Structure 1
Amino acid sequence: MFNLTAQQLEKNKAVHTANEIYQQPAVWKEVVTNFYQQKDVCQEFIESIYAKHENVRVIFTGAGTSAFAGDTLVPELRRQNQENVQFESIPTTDIVSNPTQYLFKNSPTVLVSFARSGNSPESVAAVELGEEIIDDFYQVVVTCNKDGQLAKNTMDDQNSITLLTPEKAHDQGFAMTSSFTSMILTAYALFTANAITGSESTQLIANAEHLVDSVGAVVDEVLNIDIERIVYLGSGLLAQLSHEAALKMLELSAGKVVAVHESSLGFRHGPKSILNENSVVVLFISKDPHTRKYDMDILRELASDDSGIKIVALTEKSDEEVENLADWSLPVNQSKESLSSDFSLALLYVIFAQTLALKKSIQLGITPDNPSPDGRVNRVVKGVTIYDYVK
């Protein structure tokens, strides 16, 4: 698995994290199957809300990786333009500390909580604030834990629904990997205006199966250089994905690798200052013809830089110019048909980022399943005080 033996994974305490990255194609298959078994109930719940109100806010929320799930998903749902539905992504950490900036009494709202454990104090508090402030308040909980507080709170609530990801997606490792992608895919299936066809999901899963078996070779080549800093770039929803990609490296390297994210166009406006001779830039290239032009421009600019930086470019299909400009080029679609959108690319691209973070963690002598044994950061956040909201 990722060119690591079972003994190496055990020795380096990386078994959970490696398995949870590798299992994603199988988990996605289960997500699609499970959703279609309850599709009618789910869609009836959502469509009944839309029918009651002239306009509806759908707020995706969570903290950390769970927040980035919403960030990555919202641009695609907005692109589909569902008229009276306004899709937003707002972290629970913002809602809890500043509720009146984000929750409005007279705005019918569906709060979609992404949660691996469902026990994070901010997640529970965000729901309580929504119930207190908003007149027409509805909940969708997308969680990996049927026994979490969020799931329990929706029981017998006609204005709420809980969607459980497959049990395997309840990651036991510190970093969220299969939980991240399975939650995104579950929420997409619920809210998309374009039903996920069998052929589309089959194509996505087949490419993911190929990727988890092949990505280790590229990652090993990248890790032959001394990486002190890594920058993830992309445009649109791929810029949002870059936030999650950077976090995976920061978490699993225990902060020893400086990891940042930015949009392809935004990188020139100051953040490019971070680059030095021990930097790697990973570029998530869009499949959209217009957006791709801007990704290619920053790739050409970086390739002409003589500071010694290295570039990894992820693309949908093999591209001769990309291969000539980047130090490593990784096409993720091995099928003849094109993928439907950058959303599909995001699910594949993040597998590279997860695997790179896993293997860098091992290279640094850190234990990926628990990269912070001193308890500085925790799998389920600790040390949060929730204060009463006073109107």
Structure 2
Amino acid sequence: MDHALSPAAPKPAHVPDALVYDFDIHADPGLLDDPHVRIMDLLRNAPPVFWTPRNGGGWMVLTHAANYEASRDTEAFSSEFVPQDKMKALLASLPPGAPHIPQPIPITLDPPEHTKYRQPLQKVFSPKTISALRDSIRELAGDLIEAIKPDGRCEFMSAVAEPLPVQVFLKMLGLPLDRLPEYRAIVKEHMEAIDGDREGSMRRLQTIAAAMRDTLLDRRDNPRDDIISMLWKLEIDGQPTTLADMENYGVLLFIAGLDTVMNGMGLAMRGLAVDTDLQRKLRAEPKLIAEAAEEMLRRYTFTVPMRVVKRPVELSGAKMMPGDMVKLFLPAADLDAKEFPQPDVYDLDRENNVHIAFGVGPHRCLGSHLARVELQVLYEEMLARMPEFRLDPDHPPVFHGGHVIGIESMHLVWDV
């Protein structure tokens, strides 16, 4: 993998030198060495909100308070990287018959438009709908774990963390499981190139939509018991769902479902692998697992949402101007000592653990119920079925940075 730092962008005039800190979210050596150790280091040594010249130049928001404030202020911190009027004009200017350019809606919208498109999705991801999936998730987790158990070792990401959420997700959507490797490759390319290459980003979203189109059209004409069929029945603002709407929803769910949870699983399993006391405690008292999963989400938060500044605004003393790019560095927010005493200690008895691993405000993660069920079921099944597991000393974990921080590969060993 190429870990060269991205070229440095020139510093805008409104950014004071005191707020500049050089940090590359894709290639920072410390982040790739051990992400959450490096994040603690940033919290100690970088300004609470700083401007970095890397990845096109932009602001990084570290503290819990600043992330909370920016996440809720959608008027100053917008998710519309291409303003809606521009996007509509662009779509209208396409020649007849040109492929639709899908947008991962509603993540790229601000309220009130955002609300209109998010509302229908709430039904599909309601706790009730998700609870009904728990047994099939458990069965799949059990199968994956039993397959590796006799070997005494595994590369956990490819053996369990990737196939579990991705298969659950493809089944939920009703997409063909045999295309899993192709789908993952598309998403990986999209996530790695998300900073800056907007043209390329649109092309990749078209690739994702194209990979789903047969299934989308088939479910319109032959509905089944899956999410795509459910989405066809919804109305958006009183209007029936169109193929363009379905492609927009599809690319959003595709990117979220095929990348995010697996990184949370990897980070949490590493947390358990290095803490055999915690493993013993949870094996002895499995009812603590739901709480343990929440503290894992706080301790190893992994998503970094993006915003673009829409009007002059000040955040924690940093003056920002329209057009400035902002990364909400949630992994740092959940390690902020002002909010969580001794933040780097994994504490099962932590009082009021109000982490923001799933974000906060109108864009709070829609799939959080699903992610929680998947994470809890995985811990339950790993701890119930596997002997004590630990990191393989000969193959240390390999990490990646980016918009979802996580683990590329992690070798576990256990006694057979």
- TM exceeding 0.5: no
Bigger relative CO (Cα 8 Å, ≥ 6 apart) = 2
Give the TM-score of the pair, scaled to structure 1.
0.31
TM-score by length of 2: 0.29
Between structures 1 and 2, the one with greater strand share: 1
